Amino acid sequence: MREYPAFYIGGGWAAPAVPRTMDVVNPATEEVCGRVAAGSAADVDRAVAAARAAFPAYSATGVDERLDLLQSILDVYQKRSPDLAAALTEEMGAPAELAGGFQVGLGAGHLGKAIEVLRDFRFEERRGATLIVREPIGVCGLITPWNWPLNQIAVKVFPALATGCAMVLKPSEQSPFTGQIFAEILDAAGVPPGVFNLVQGDGPGVGVPLSAHPGVDMVSFTGSTRAGVEVARNAAPTVKRVTQELGGKGPNIILDDGAFAENVEKGVVSMMGNSGQTCSAPSRMLVPEARMDEAAEVARRAAEATTVGDPNGGFTIGPVVSAAQFAKVQGLIQRGVDEGAVLVAGGTGRPDGLERGYYVRPTVFARVRNDMTVAREEIFGPVLTILGYGDLDEAVEIANDTEYGLAAYVAGEDLDRARAIARRLRSGWVVINDAFDFGCPFGGYKRSGNGREWGEFGFEDYLETKGVLGHAPESG
């Protein structure tokens, strides 16, 4: 049983102002596996005050000093990687191989990229007699989700540190263990007191007072579109900057070529990863109408090959994160059946032999219309919908016919054709043939949010731009 009774505030561990704890449930067993302190507005006040006190000195540090700090964090992070992986598996059900591999690796990768970007980042630029200065924005409120905890902490905390900001982090109450260990890592690495602060808690208790706090200069939020709207409302009276990475319903256009079957299978595998709990997941597969039956059969085999079980047992996927998430996914699967989508694999209920744990059957629907609920709503479970298109113009039209615009995918042998399609997709991230790049900007169009994370683009939202006129005399 893990016990985390304190927050990290002002460079030390602090008990909550009002003694209260939250249970953390292991989704694989449905049993309580730990408790963490639950914060309140008073704890947010203390953390923001510590960050404000630390900001003037830290914002004045040089690039070399921040580079040394980030490298120190990377050294400690790598040593604590096994602890982070174990926490991920316990708190959110990520299979051990995924937790210790890609989940933990994403955090390290973003830190390495932040170090690389900071080395050459231009914080000042002369334009004639005017000096353009990029200055740290101030104190940042960082609110992160449960599905990729380390990734989302990393893409907020590391750019904030690199640009000279102070911050208060609120991890998801459903995956708080990794946030706690992350605070231990930063403490061991020597982050100056007050620059990084951690307050655990739920949305009403911590998220609302943090996003509304007059001492917070910007809020970076990752989560559902519904919650993102509330964060923006809370932040509006103080006119602080708000950046959001929200929901998605990613289209995956499979081109009609010799790699068709292979790309359908890859699309299923990608969708099922992390139990489908990925905002950028390729959840709407678009295939030529003439090859719908073939796509459905390939997808069925791939879904049935996706093993489900104990996260420590070598299975492909584990459970979804909570009872509430399990109920939501079950309801949407049933909605797909009721609305007439063709159930190709999976369906409602747990997989055979799994009586406990929030396990979902890998599910595929074929012959889905884009007006069906399963094609419109973000399910956030291992559920794939397959839609047909007549020609590529129609494929693009269907792909863009969504309120979301976070990630989109194109898979095919003809790179020129894939590139042309990618330009027409209204999405912040378009992936051609499974490419990956830590330096690519990540963020959404439409109701998928605003702002960009990853690489140099992740620095932008943590900086203010100042123009100093007359800084130098005009050259004669």
Q: How far is Cα 23 from Cα 321, in angstroms, rounded to an integer? A: 14
**Beta strand extents in 137-239 (DSSP E only):** 139-143, 166-170, 196-198, 218-222
Place of tokens 């103080």: 238
Which of 91, 165, 173, 279 is catalytic? The answer is: 279
Sign of the CA dihedral 309, 312, 314, 317? positive
What are the angstrom distances between the C-alpha of 309 and each of 27, 83, 111, 130, 320? 11, 22, 32, 61, 11
Q: How far is Cα 321 from Cα 311, in angstroms, rounded to an integer? A: 12
Which of 91, 245, 378, 453 is catalytic? The answer is: 245
Q: How far is Cα 466 from Cα 132, in angstroms, rounded to an integer? A: 6
Q: Residue 245 catalytic?
A: yes
Q: Residue 140 catalytic?
A: no
Query: Is the Cβ–Cβ distance between 11 and 193 less than 8 Å?
Result: yes
Q: What is the DSSP letter of 131?
A: E
Would you tell me how many other CB atoms lie within 10 Å of the CB of residue 310?
18
Place of tokens 């050459």: 120
Q: How far is Cα 215 from Cα 410, in angstroms, rounded to an integer? A: 44
Supply 368's token pair: 């889905």
Query: Is the Cβ–Cβ distance between 260 and 267 less than 8 Å?
Result: no
Just list the catalytic residues: 245, 279
